[in-house]
Structures are given as structure tokens and as C-alpha cells.
């Protein structure tokens, strides 16, 4: 379990973009972060992914303050985190399967990056993950011919096959048509519950969060103002987010 306390990030011009955020992330939970543009959703995801350092606050993993841990412990934890960009960077000329196998440099052990070697059970794992995201039949297809939603699915499969326990997805449904957006949300939810992965997805559309997420976090001006479990947002809560 990850527990965040007092997470605050002030940027050099003096603006506080994350303001005393307190929350916890239980394993296997699908969390959606909603809030208006500029409310701090991406900033929060980046802080959770350890991509950007905060000014103050604690980040506890299974009871231990990560910032007080040594380099190796931090690196081990980093390997379990995947950050999915809105437009994932993939090897365009390679197949879906190759992309899943290749992985992101952060998650791959150094020896694998240097040798480029792939074990046969890696193939099995990659195919299994492509099946989970509904792309097994397209494993051999070049990704340059694939849609935005399919590319997101490949990025998700890639992060999970390389052992991500925490996936931070910044607008995973942006640019997708309503049907594909729902399919993506369904896949994320399934992966959370079946694999025990924790997924935090920033979303613009509150109704998608309400339909699929286990928890909805609401951001406003860098503050986490809502943490709703198992119910829709009230009209007052929704209006507080705009």
C-alpha cells in the first residue's frame, strides 16, 4: 500500500501546483482523477510516478518512507511503476508483440537492455498480456497501422508484462471515440481486479470515472478535494470541480 501525506509542490515562480495532498493507494484499485484543466491531475500523477520531485511531503510504500530509503530500494520501486503518456511512444516499424517485449527502459533490467535478449517465457508472458488487452490476434501487426486505442493497449500490455504494480495513465482515453473509450476503461478495470495492479487514470470525463472507477479523486487548484468510493458524484461535488 502507498500512503501519501502532505504532498506539496511549489514551482520556482512561487505557484503551488500540488497543495498538501493526502491519500492512499490500495493494491488492485482503479482510481480516476478528475478536475478541470490545470487543476493538477498530471502533476499528481507525475509525483506518484516519481517523475517530478515534490517540495515537501511523505511517500510511504508498505510503511517505509521511500525518500529515506537507499538508491537500490528506490530503483526497485521505480521499476514497478509505469507512466502512460497520452500518446505512448512505440517502435512504429515493429510488431505489437515486439513492442510489448521490448519494454520501456526504466522497467527493463540493465542486463536485458545491454544484451537485448528475450527469453521464451517472455514471449508467453507478452502474448498472454496482449490477450488480456484484446490484441492477441494482432500480435504480428506493425504498430504504425494501429489506432490510438490499440496503441494505448500495447503500452498497457508492455508496462504490465515488465512487472508494473502501479500504472499512472494520463488521459488514457483522450482522442478515442466513446465506444473505444469505454472499452479502454473496461480493460483497465479488468486488469486492476485480475492482476492486482493499481491504476490511477486522469480523466476529463467524470461520467467515465463514475461508471468504471473504484475510487474518484477530485482535484481543484492543486488540492485533492474529493475521494469518493463506490458511488456517483453529487451535483454539488461535480460543480466544485469546475
Ligand X SMILES: Nc1ncnc2c1ncn2[C@@H]1O[C@H](COP(=O)(O)OP(=O)(O)OP(=O)(O)O)[C@@H](O)[C@H]1O
Residue 38 interacting with ligand X (CB under 6 A): yes
Q: Which string of DSSP letters, residue by residue, matches 59-85?
A: EEETTEEGGGS-HHHHHHHHHTEEEE-
Residue 124 interacting with ligand X (CB under 6 A): no
Residue 218 interacting with ligand X (CB under 6 A): no
Torsion-angle region of 38 (φ positive above 0: left; ψ -120 to 50: alpha; else: beta): left
Rounded CA-CA distance 183/59 in Å is 32
Residue 32 interacting with ligand X (CB under 6 A): no
Residue 39 interacting with ligand X (CB under 6 A): yes
Residue 196 interacting with ligand X (CB under 6 A): no
- Angle (CA) 228-234-240 rounded to 5° is 85
Q: Kindly state the smallest distance separating residue 122's Cβ from ligand X, in Å.
A: 34
Cell reading at 112: 536485458
Residue 21 interacting with ligand X (CB under 6 A): no
Strand ranges, E, within 76-119 = 81-84
Closest CB to ligand X among residues 35, 103: 35
Burial class (CB in 10 A: 0-12, 13-18, 19+), 238: middle
Closest CB to ligand X among residues 43, 133: 43
Residue 198 interacting with ligand X (CB under 6 A): no
Which region among 39-47, 149-157, 175-183, 191-199 touches ligand X (by CB under 6 A)? 39-47
Which region among 38-46, 63-71, 74-82, 231-239 touches ligand X (by CB under 6 A)? 38-46
Residue 46 contacts residue 224 (beta carbons within 8 Å): no
Closest CB to ligand X among residues 96, 224: 224
CA distances from residue 193 to 2, 10, 152, 186, 218 in whole angstroms, order as listed:
17, 35, 19, 11, 22
Q: Kindly state the smallest distance separating residue 127's Cβ from ligand X, in Å.
A: 34
Q: Kindly state the smallest distance separating residue 136's Cβ from ligand X, in Å.
A: 32
DSSP 232: P
Between residue 42 and residue 101, which ones bind ligand X under the rule CB under 6 A? 42-43
Cell reading at 62: 508498505
According to CB under 6 A, which one of 30, 40, 133, 228 is a site residue for ligand X? 40
Which region among 41-49, 77-85, 96-104, 109-117 touches ligand X (by CB under 6 A)? 41-49
Amino acid at each position: 500500500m502507498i500512503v501519501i501525506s502532505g504532498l506539496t509542490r511549489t514551482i520556482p515562480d512561487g505557484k503551488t501546483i500540488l497543495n498538501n495532498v493526502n491519500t492512499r493507494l490500495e493494491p488492485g484499485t482503479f482510481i480516476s482523477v478528475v478536475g478541470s484543466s490545470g487543476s493538477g491531475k498530471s502533476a499528481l500523477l507525475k509525483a506518484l510516478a516519481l517523475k517530478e520531485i515534490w517540495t515537501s511531503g511523505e511517500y510511504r510504500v508498505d510503511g517505509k518512507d521511500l525518500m529515506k530509503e537507499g538508491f537500490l530500494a528506490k530503483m526497485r520501486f521505480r521499476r514497478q511503476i509505469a507512466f502512460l503518456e497520452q500518446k505512448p511512444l512505440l517502435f512504429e516499424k515493429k510488431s505489437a508483440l515486439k513492442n510489448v517485449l521490448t519494454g520501456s527502459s526504466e522497467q527493463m533490467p540493465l542486463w536485458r537492455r545491454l544484451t537485448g535478449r528475450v527469453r521464451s517465457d517472455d514471449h508467453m508472458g507478452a502474448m498472454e498480456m496482449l490477450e488480456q488487452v484484446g490484441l492477441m490476434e494482432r500480435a504480428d501487426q506493425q504498430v504504425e497501422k494501429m489506432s490510438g486505442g490499440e496503441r494505448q493497449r500495447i503500452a498497457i500490455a508492455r508496462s504490465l508484462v515488465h512487472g508494473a504494480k502501479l500504472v499512472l495513465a494520463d488521459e488514457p482515453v483522450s482522442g478515442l471515440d466513446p465506444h473505444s473509450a469505454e472499452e479502454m476503461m473496461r480493460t483497465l478495470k479488468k486488469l486492476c481486479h485480475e492482476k492486482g495492479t493499481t491504476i490511477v487514470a486522469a480523466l476529463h470525463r467524470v461520467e467515465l470515472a463514475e461508471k468504471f472507477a473504484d475510487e474518484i479523486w477530485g482535484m481543484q487548484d492543486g488540492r485533492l478535494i474529493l475521494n469518493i468510493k463506490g458511488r456517483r458524484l453529487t451535483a454539488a461535488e461535480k460543480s466544485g470541480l469546475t
